[in-house]
Amino acid sequence: MHRIRLEPCERLFPGRYRLDPQQARHLVKVLRCYTGALVEGLEEGRRVILRLSVSNGVVEAKEVVDQEDLGGYASRVVLLVGLLKADQWDQVLRFSCELGVDQIVPVICERSVPRPDDWHRKVQRYRRILLESTRQCGALRPPTIGDLVSLRELDPSGLPELRLGAFLADGAVPIGEVVPCGDVALAVGPEGDWAPWEAEALIGMGFRPVSLGPRVLRASTAVAAAVSLVRLSSWGVER
């Protein structure tokens, strides 16, 4: 079933919406939806089934079923991730939404290629990518994304007590040996891994060094691997 976000729609009256032009155009022109078609509507805290009414390019939707949210997780994942080049960074955002990250903390690292110029303008685009990703995966809410920070500026007091850092260095234990239950903070560095002082800083904040396997992964792949392992290891316990 196709999905839409309800936040940008105009609420005509309770249970009835007029879709914003972008989503309406996509449903009619690209997905070939028609009057009577059913779509899933998402907004924070709610998931509803809607019946469409299409007339002269204007699309309205009426609620027909209010669904229970079965797509959430009981525990929280906070992802600290080194800033990456545009294509990889966009992948990190999509992976984070699809795999169940709750909060993204972008970290400017010694080995980060992009510089933090114009971050406040770019972060608006990043939030749009996260919101769009919820339509693909069915999440009621996108991950939050905070301001760009360095590890010297980071206050770890708000992070979950269980903290795992993906490191390439010797001595990191396989992440499969650490089966997290409950909230967890994950730290994944940029291409080339964390600089030595950054790894030391993370360990000083209580991050346990973990390995994602014998091969060197791209940073975006490392994010997908780490979050998947954490989520899947606890998912059966939470259900």
In DSSP notation, 21-74 reads HHHHHIIIIIS---TT-EEEEEETTEEEEEEEEEETTEEEEEEEEEEP--S--S
Q: How confident is the model at residue 78 (pLDDT cuts 50, 70, 90)?
A: very high
Let me know if domain 77-238 sits in CATH 3.40.50.720.
no
Average pLDDT, the chain: 89
The answer, yes or no, to whether residue 235 has pLDDT greater than 70, is no
In this predicted structure, what is the pLDDT of residue 202?
Answer: 96
Give the pTM. 0.80
List where CATH 3.40.1280.10 sits in the chain.
77-238
Q: One-letter amino acid identity for 83?
A: L
pLDDT per position as a tens digit, 180-233: 778 999 999 999 999 999 999 999 999 999 999 999 999 999 999 999 999 887
What was the pLDDT predicted at 120?
A: 83
CATH of 3-67, one of 3.30.70.2190, 2.40.240.20, 3.90.1170.50, 3.90.79.10: 2.40.240.20
Assign 237 a pLDDT band (cuts: 50, 70, 90).
Answer: low
Confidence (pLDDT) at 188: 97
Provide CB contacts within 8 A for 175, sequence distance 6+: 164, 166, 210, 211, 212, 226, 229, 230
- The CATH 2.40.240.20 portion of the chain extends over 3-67
Cβ-proximal residues to 181 (8 Å cutoff; 6+ apart), any chain: 75, 234, 237
Q: What was the pLDDT predicted at 113?
A: 80
